[in-house]
Structure 1
């Protein structure tokens, strides 16, 4: 994984033993030791999704640590579904900080990675210095477990629900159609239309025609396809299969996150913006960019400017 079409040098990987598993970690800016920043990817992505941010963060003086989290790439893919709950996922990050000798770090998360960063701030607040999250706002813990709630609101075809109620079905279809699924998913400027019936992820995996425009070049997409050829999709989907267990785990946890935080939305993203974010994250600043869900890949320069400007203000 050296260069893509944009001639950005991507760090080589190191396998690191933490928390009883192996993580594939990409590290840059070792010369900036003492200023750690950890980047947490979403689904179905991996560390490569941060390729545009890594060099700029290094230039700004950060020691950048980017894991392929459990279930992704060459990192461990345990077989038990329960291995992918937020306790294990956040403990992996705590153990990663311990490995590098850091008491805490700034964390940046996108999509599922944002969920893990919010969860880390709840479960291990002392390990988090500052938070920057993209696409996924803080999800408050409601009265009903998340999947039960989503099933009532969105029905059985909602992909969160389907992943949980029909274990293994989507995994097999995505595995059979890796290239087509990822190629159809990573698109921008997709025309607005009434959602077709069926399960979104399975529909994307089976669709022979792509909508909108590609977010990335074919060589960049090939990095993702290759990574899922190694890991398969089950480990990453198992993150979804722990949502109700995560809900139970958070029952007695203080839901307020007091850390300084930056929330970056894409105005064209299907994920709705939070209407009460400041109730739970009182020290948050919110900005929106004119893009879809894959914010840091669709608008890399604008994302970098927003991140670096906010970090500079916080560090002033």
Structure 2
């Protein structure tokens, strides 16, 4: 599905010791800010289907390519991608626009950043909408340690941490093939495969299922990662145990009005007791996989706009 409008032209904005490539629309609707946070391995462009409906509903839409993506800064130091830096970028972006608070919407890793915004900077989050990644409970074990015990050392989160640089190089060598193989829908269910999932996808010569977007749209992602390489965005994963430490003394209960939209075919399961941690939440689901904005843009927009109008 190709858009019948131009995606906004970006501006480079200096905040929090980095430059962020920011796409915005609906500036005339100042006072109704909504900040959209992409996931991995995505791009601000992943929100293209949401821009005009939100602008027409009266919102000032602000979409950063977060640090490590697109034309935004890619710091070399791994710890520059921890949750304090990622949420600090969004706080600084609000300060730049002189907004006290905003609605935040995140998908995948972007949802993790939005959940963390509400934990670390609750006064800056008016409402939040998260797609395809439920709230992550901070358990007794650091996240990577828990995942290694539960899923094994070939699980991609663990592999990224335990074998730094290995997957990065393979994804960099096979950027187009990896992204073409990843952005699929209606993929046949298969048993657990040997090896590391993302490396297997990067090396697979034949994609499964059907593409979720046109070659023209996918080319935006491909050119973005050919510029940055994958290491900066994978460095987000390399801070998960550090983030676990940083959140040690933060109250785990989130009080903001929240909408969670799950994909029924997504491999990421919903959190059954999410209301224990996010009491003011509405949960919806769509017949979609993980790339929910690509697969069901119109239905998703309807759910989002109806919830925002409540």
TM exceeding 0.5: yes
2:27 to 27, 30, 36: 30
Gaps of 5+ in 1: none
| Alignment partner, residue 206 of structure 1 | 203
How many residue pairs end up in the alignment? 310
Q: How many Å separate the matches in 2 of 1:195 and 1:176?
A: 25
The TM-score, its normalising length taken from structure 2, stands at: 0.99
What is the aligned counterpart of 2:66 among 59, 65, 69? 69
Are residues 1:262 and 2:259 paired?
yes
State the partner residue of 1:45.
42
Match of 1:141 in 2: 138
Q: 2: CA distance between counterparts of 1:143 and 1:182?
A: 35
Alpha-carbon displacement from aligned partner over 1:105-164 (angstroms, at most 9, x marks no partner):
000000000000000000000000000000000000000000000000100100000000
Q: Distance in 2 between matches of 1:5 and 1:300?
A: 12
Residues 75-107 of structure 1: CA distance to partner in whole angstroms, max 9, x if unpaired? 000000000000000000000000001010000
Of 101, 109, 112, the match for 1:112: 109
Where has structure 1 moved over 2 Å in runs of 4 or more? 4-8
Instruction: Give CA-to-partner distance per residue, 1:10-37, whole Å, 9 cap, x none.
Output: 0000000000000000000011011000
Alpha-carbon displacement from aligned partner over 1:163-201 (angstroms, at most 9, x marks no partner)? 000000011100010000000000000011102111011
The residue that corresponds to 1:194 in the other structure is: 191
Shift in Å at residue 5 of structure 1? Answer: 3.0
Q: 2:80 & 2:269 partners in 1: Cα distance?
A: 29
Between the aligned partners of 2:56 and 2:2, the Cα distance in structure 1 is 21
Match of residue 152 from structure 1: 149
Provide the secondary structure at the position in 2 that maps to 1:51: helix
Deviation, 1:275, is 1.2
Q: Output the aligned Cα RMSD.
A: 0.7
Q: 2:282 aligns with which of 285, 292, 296?
A: 285
Cα contact 1:42–1:111 (8 A) shared by 2: yes
Alpha-carbon distance in 1 for matches of 2:305, 2:56: 10
Tell me the distance in 2 between the aligned counterparts of 1:41 and 1:140: 21
Aligned pair partner of 1:182 in 179, 182, 195:
179
Q: Deviations over 1:272-310 (max 9, x none)?
A: 110110010000000000000011111000010000000
Partner of 1:122: 119
Aligned to 2:17: 20
| Consecutive unaligned residues in structure 2, runs of 5 or more | none
Shift of 1:9: 1.7
Distance in 2 between the 1:120 and 1:5 partners? 32
Verify the 8 A CA contact 1:8 1:51 in the aligned structure 2: no
Q: How do residues 52-63 of structure 1 correspond to structure 2 at under 5 angstroms? A: 52-63=49-60
